[in-house]
Chains A and B, each alone.
Chain A
Amino acid sequence: MSKKVAFIASIQEQDAWETAQQLNKAGYQVYGAYTDGASHEAGEKEGISLLSIDLADRASAQSAAKAVEEKEGALDILVLESAHHLEDKPVGSGRDYEELAKAVDLGTVGMERILTAFLPLMKKSEGKRIAFLSRTSAGIGFCEDKDDFAWHMAQAAIHNMLKVSFNELRPEGFTFRNFVTDGPKGGMSAADYILQDFSYLPEDDYIHSDENRLVRRDSLFRELSW
């Protein structure tokens, strides 16, 4: 029986890399994509197949999806992480607003380009699970930060995009995981959470299933607000 397949965006980030290793250890064939625009060698490292995606280029995401399709045929788990930051000065000091708009766009639409490119592969799989790695401060309600506007604004926009994707794709059998990676040490790892099934009884009311709502949680399975 062939291995299940996972693809992880922004593999240059430590939590994405650790998630890749955890999924590899769990028996998945794992692909990871650098999204930071730096030069990286394609190939394999510690069991993870590595490639690069230019977030600004829809064709780049489509090429990555084609490469995975040619080798694996389908994709069970897609893990997204948006990690585009801009250095800020304190509010009131001014900033380069055009750069800010570009950075929010790249961090947000870059993830949309990857999601869109890989959806056809996921529709061919058994897994059909879309995950997003974020931080506590990616929730507007919880956020106590005062800077890094580009990253924060992209996180909020992506959450909205994922909710709309959830609305569209959940009836097709897709499931969604949103994991906060800066929770307390111990408890669930990102892969533990991503692979964990949620309660779902098809005969029950739609609203009573934990799988039929989009939530974000941390390592202690605590739910965090948007």
Chain B
Amino acid sequence: MSMKTVFITGADRGVGFALSRIFAENGWRVFAGKFLDYWKELDELKKQFPETVELIPLNVGSTQSVQEAAKTVSQKTDTVDVLVNCAGISRGEGEEAFRQIVNVNAVGAMRMVEAFLPLMQKGEKRLCFVSSEAGSITVAHRKGEAPYYPMSKSALNMAVKLMFNELRPKGYSFRLYHPGWVNSYMGGDVKSTRGKYEPEQAAMPAFKQFTGHRDWEDALVMTDVENQAWPF
């Protein structure tokens, strides 16, 4: 039986890195999107799994970078079974802040899907997106000024729905995942300590959902670490 292949964006640290490790430990060939040159966790993972982990330079906010990543991967394999879109940012600057955030969190996932579709035709055809409860309009509990990060996650959820409408009839299946409040690096290079979960705790249920079967693939539902469903 041939080894299955996954591409993971935002793999430098946090949930993306934890997912990269879990996929590698479970015998997958892992293409890990590396954005931060100075962050060395992925290099350590590569040393641990030299034959099956490949580090691919990637900025999902750049069309050229995504296209170069797809080209690089296509020279190493003809099939990507699972694409995990995990890259995200929480802040931008000034009047351009929302455009910067949505360009990574939502448009970045679209860049990846459309660039990697040719490599996914023969595989498992599983598209996974790390979203957030912050994008749930029903549940939104924040107050005050326009919350750009949550708004970008609502935009992501909508973009995923449009892609789902097009690609589900073509055999693709989707996972939309809320990882919970994770001790992540969304605020920068210092890991948060206020979250409910460590990245590994959010990544293990994600791995199970991203690789598992559902009898209801024709419904797009956002699920969390407990596999509980969240409304849009």
Contact = CB atoms under 8 A, between A and B. Distances in A.
Interface residues of A, number: 44
A122 to B, nearest CB: 16
B162 to A, nearest CB: 6
Interface stretch (B77-85, B98-106, B192-200): B98-106
B151 A108 contact: yes
Interface string B142-177: 111011001111111111011101110000000000
Contacts of A149: 110, 159, 162
Nearest to A107: B155
A143 B165 contact: yes
Nearest to B60: A97
B135 interface: yes
B162 A143 contact: yes
B231 interface: yes
Given A104-B155, A160-B154, A225-B232, A146 B98 contact: no
A90 interface: yes
Contacts of B140: 160, 163-164, 167
A189 interface: no
Contact of A91 (B102, B138, B144, B162): B162
A95 B159 CA distance: 14
A91 B107 contact: no
B44 interface: no
Given A101-B103, A141-B232, A94 B114 contact: yes
Contact of B107 (A100, A155, A161): A100
Given A140-B157, A141-B232, A101 B114 contact: no
A97 B111 CA distance: 7
Kindly state the interface size class of chain B when it binds its partner: 35 or more
B95 interface: yes
A168 B114 CA distance: 38
Contacts of A129: none
B214 interface: no
A90 B163 CA distance: 9
A108 B105 CA distance: 15
A175 to B, nearest CB: 16
A10 B146 CA distance: 20
A114 to B, nearest CB: 12
B137 interface: yes
B63 A160 contact: no
A112 interface: yes
Contacts of B135: 156, 160
A139 interface: yes
A58 B95 contact: yes
Nearest to B136: A226
Interface in A106-161: 108-109, 112, 116, 139-141, 143-147, 149, 152-161
A153 B155 contact: yes
Contacts of A159: 137, 154
B107 to A, nearest CB: 5
A182 to B, nearest CB: 17
B117 interface: yes
A104 B117 CA distance: 23
A56 to B, nearest CB: 9
A226 B155 contact: no
Contact of A153 (B96, B106, B150, B231): B106
Nearest to A153: B155
A168 B110 contact: no
A152 B158 contact: yes
A135 B109 CA distance: 25
Contacts of A156: 135, 137, 154-155, 157-158, 232
Contacts of A144: 165
A97 B167 contact: no
15 contacts: A91-B114, A94-B115, A98-B103, A100-B110, A104-B155, A109-B146, A140-B157, A141-B232, A144-B165, A152-B158, A152-B159, A156-B137, A157-B152, A161-B147, A168-B143
Interface of A: 58, 90-95, 97-98, 100-102, 104-105, 108-109, 112, 116, 139-141, 143-147, 149, 152-161, 163-165, 167-168, 225-226
